[in-house]
Amino acid sequence: MIPNKTPETGSFFQRDRNWHPPAFAPGYKTSVLRSPQKALLSLDNTISEITGPVFGHSILGELDNDLIHNFAKPGESAIGERIIVYGRVLDERGKAVPGALVEFWQANAGGRYRHKKEGYMAPLDPNFGGCGRTITDEDGFYTFRTVRPGAYPWPNGANDWRPAHIHFSMFGHGFAQRLITQMYFEGDPMIWQCPIVGTVADRAAVEQLIAVLDMEATIPMDARAYKFDIVLRGRRSTFFENRREGN
């Protein structure tokens, strides 16, 4: 249920491009052709970007945040290590972001996606669709159940593998403000061998993409839990005249 509050309408902070990986990263092969060929420009937000369009909260189904069962046949469930992923969506000021649409998708426990162009021949799980969604509550909290995804090879280098990860997409109240990111798992040694992770120069930035195992939030005899907070850009940044492109 969405609270009846007046939404903020100030401009969003521009991203800090020193914190994000470069668009051109030769070690990540597909970035070579799709990276911009000209200098980037930062543009202020338009009214349509800040205020809409918005999605309908009523479109969510009862099992949209339960990947263990939302694609399974009656009485059956997905195969794999059951986990709970939870956290908060916050802005840079530490304020909760309520009513945000959080979407997630992943490979199955064997490391295979349900996609017709998937090249990895690990088995499909007939009871696992690999995608879901939920909405943050008044305090910015979200949660979903799933199985821990497997690692998989990909055609980047001769023997490159992706570590276990879950993709996230966040929509706020303006559809033009969408964030797509990935969540990794604490203790996975493959994180630091991944060419995509290697494009991020700041180790602290990578560590913010790693979910922490939280044994206090487990469901006994059922599922372990991982905590993953997502921090978005805030609004109303201070304008610095010597950094027009950075405000």
152 is catalytic: yes
Helix or strand or coil: residue 80? coil
Give the count of beta carbons closer than 10 Å to the beta carbon of residue 246.
15
20 is catalytic: no
142 is catalytic: no
Q: Which of 28, 113, 184, 226 is catalytic?
A: 113
Q: Which of 88, 133, 145, 162 is catalytic?
A: 162
Asked if 154 and 160 count as a contact pair (C-beta separation under 8 A), the reply is: yes
Helix (H) or strand (E) holding 226: strand 224-227
- Structure letter (DSSP) for residue 32: H
82 is catalytic: no
Using CA atoms, how far apart are residues 214 and 218, in angstroms rounded to an integer? 7
167 is catalytic: yes
Q: Which of 142, 145, 148, 152 is catalytic?
A: 152
Q: Which of 69, 86, 120, 167 is catalytic?
A: 167
Antiparallel, parallel or unpaired: β 82-91 and 224-227: parallel
As given in the structure block, the two tokens for residue 120 are: 């990895």
Q: Which residues are catalytic?
A: 113, 152, 162, 165, 167
